[in-house]
Amino acid sequence: MASNKRLLMLPGDGIGPEVMREVRRVIEWMDKRRAVSFDLSEDLVGGSAIDAHGTPLTDETMTTAMEADAVLLGAVGGPKWDNLPFDQKPERGLLRLRKEMDLYANLRPAMCFDALVDASSLKPELVSGLDIMIVRELTAGVYFGEPRGIETLPNGQRKGINTQTYTTSEIRRVCRVAYELAQKRDNRVCSVEKANVMESGVLWREEAQWVHDQEFAGVELGHMYADNCAMQLVRAPKQFDVIVTDNLFGDMLSDCAAMLTGSLGMLPSASLGDTDATGRRRALFEPVHGSAPDIAGQDLANPIAMLLSFAMALRYSFDLAEDADLIETAVQNVLAGGLRTADIMQPGKAKVSTNVMGEALVGELNKLAA
Ligand code: NAD
């Protein structure tokens, strides 16, 4: 038997619990068929935690998250809590997790499953076989830099201020994550900034190069300006393997890359922090989509983004790459077999519910593991 692995599940709100249910099924399957067992706990986050405890994340849940080997989150938010003050909203629960776990590297893969090449806005030959990883710095940069605010000038005009700041260590640690990832992939990193017009970009480029030269000289490193990168992502996305970039550019470029692959219901993500003395890295895995209140409770949600997020947890927190591959292959095969949830429905395919999609995925895992 493999040793226990502490996994905290936070289904959250809306479709969160529905898609998490399908992950549970796969976990039960792994327990039975792969002899991989998890030490599972489940707790509330977001609106459901507000309803039960008056806060979007209790201190107890925060402690469990800090002690877990990985946290799997569904989604938070919904109209029921929209009118709460900003600091009491469901999203604060997620923000607290990210902040206190110090999750500075956000991994957003953009993979195109063959069966869905037609869902992309680009020509099939440009996206077929696409597999890129965007690593976005998540805890610094212009979204956090000081000074910030809106001030009124003596002449009555108003001035909005945000400040882009990066320190050596903030750049180096996220670049290390990117180089380590590249070593397990196609061994190529493209570091992206605007060194032509921003001093923080000059520093970014120098530090990315420094970490490379000192610690990862075997990885192929290129540098690109962010505007060119946006253009290249829609011109020839397959030229990239790993892209590493700051918080602001990463926000834009990861959404741009995501749409190369079709639907929100297919997109996983991971956020990683530092590794502790025991080798455990703080990590949170969640789909890119939100709680989708418009379809919540109707068995319509696509569970694949959630399941692929779990596959990322297997790969990056539990070193179970073979099991992660198995899940990704099961997704590929079920799609190739013609099953589609409503969000990725195409003519001539079979429209299925969340539950049926989950069943089909486990059925496919059974076949693959036979
Ligand atoms: P959303 O991602 O929830 O939904 C956008 C659209 O995509 C909707 O039409 C929805 O039905 C569809 N969709 C999303 N995921 C899907 C899935 N798995 N299967 C099928 N269809 C899917 O974004 P939104 O509507 O802007 O936000 C709804 C709520 O979610 C808000 O309260 C927002 O604050 C919250 N939100 C939370 C997160 C998070 O928890 N990380 C992220 C984004 C939005």
Cα–Cα distance, 238 to 261 (Å, whole number):
12
Contact 113, 53 (CB under 8 A): no
Please name the residue whose Cα sits nearest to atom 4 of ligand 1: 292
Q: Mean pLDDT lowest for which of 67-81, 91-105, 117-131, 139-153?
A: 117-131
Helix (H/G/I), strand (E/B), else coil: 182: helix
Please name the residue whose Cα sits nearest to atom 23 of ligand 1: 290
> What is the share, in percent, of the chain residues with pLDDT greater than 90?
89
Mean pLDDT score of the chain: 95
Contact 288, 108 (CB under 8 A): yes
Please name the residue whose Cα sits nearest to atom 17 of ligand 1: 265
Residue 261 Cβ contacting ligand 1 at under 6 Å: no
Q: The pTM is what? A: 0.94
Cα–Cα distance, 115 to 23 (Å, whole number):
22
Of the pLDDT bands very low, low, confident and very high (cuts 50, 70, 90), residue 1 is very low
Contact 61, 49 (CB under 8 A): yes
Question: What is the whole-number distance in angstroms between the Cα of residue 291 and the centre of ligand 1?
Answer: 5
Residue 265 Cβ contacting ligand 1 at under 6 Å: yes
Strand 105-111 vs strand 131-137: parallel, antiparallel, or unpaired? Answer: antiparallel
- Specify the domain boundaries for CATH 3.40.718.10 within the chain: 1-105+267-370, 131-260
Please name the residue whose Cα sits nearest to atom 26 of ligand 1: 290
Q: Residue type at 31?
A: D
Question: For domain 131-260, which CATH number applies: 3.40.718.10, 2.60.40.1170, 3.40.50.620, 3.30.530.20?
Answer: 3.40.718.10
Residue 293: which of 18, 10, 9, 8 has the closest Cα? 18
pLDDT confidence of residue 2? 44
- Lookup result for tokens 């995925």: 361
Which atom of ligand 1 lies closest to the CA of 306? 18
- Burial class from Cβ neighbours inside 10 Å (0-12, 13-18, 19+) for residue 327 reads buried
- Report helix angle 91-100 to 59-67, nearest 10: 40
Q: Tens digit of pLDDT for each residue in 247-305?
A: 999 999 998 988 888 778 999 999 999 998 888 999 999 999 999 999 999 999 999 99
Question: What is the whole-number distance in angstroms between the Cα of residue 142 and the centre of ligand 1?
Answer: 25
Report the catalytic residues: 143, 194, 227, 251, 255
Tell me which fold the domain 1-105+267-370 belongs to.
Isopropylmalate Dehydrogenase (3.40.718)
Ligand 1 pocket test target in 291, 310, 339 with most atoms within 8 Å of CB: 291
Question: What is the whole-number distance in angstroms between the Cα of residue 109 and the centre of ligand 1?
Answer: 18
Please name the residue whose Cα sits nearest to atom 25 of ligand 1: 292
Strand 158-161 vs strand 220-225: parallel, antiparallel, or unpaired? Answer: unpaired
Which atom of ligand 1 lies closest to the CA of 302? 19
Q: Residue type at 194?
A: K
Question: What is the whole-number distance in angstroms between the Cα of residue 78 and the centre of ligand 1?
Answer: 9
Q: Which of 86-90, 278-282, 310-314 has the highest mean pLDDT?
A: 310-314
- How much is the average pLDDT of 311-330? 95
Residue 97 Cβ contacting ligand 1 at under 6 Å: no
Question: What is the whole-number distance in angstroms between the Cα of residue 23 and the centre of ligand 1?
Answer: 18
pLDDT confidence of residue 23? 98
Q: Mean pLDDT lowest for which of 6-15, 256-265, 293-302, 334-343?
A: 256-265
Q: Tens digit of pLDDT for each residue in 140-186?
A: 999 999 999 999 999 999 999 999 999 999 999 999 999 999 999 99
Taking the C-alpha atoms of 82, 308, 190 and 143 in order, what is their torsion angle to the nearest 10 degrees?
20
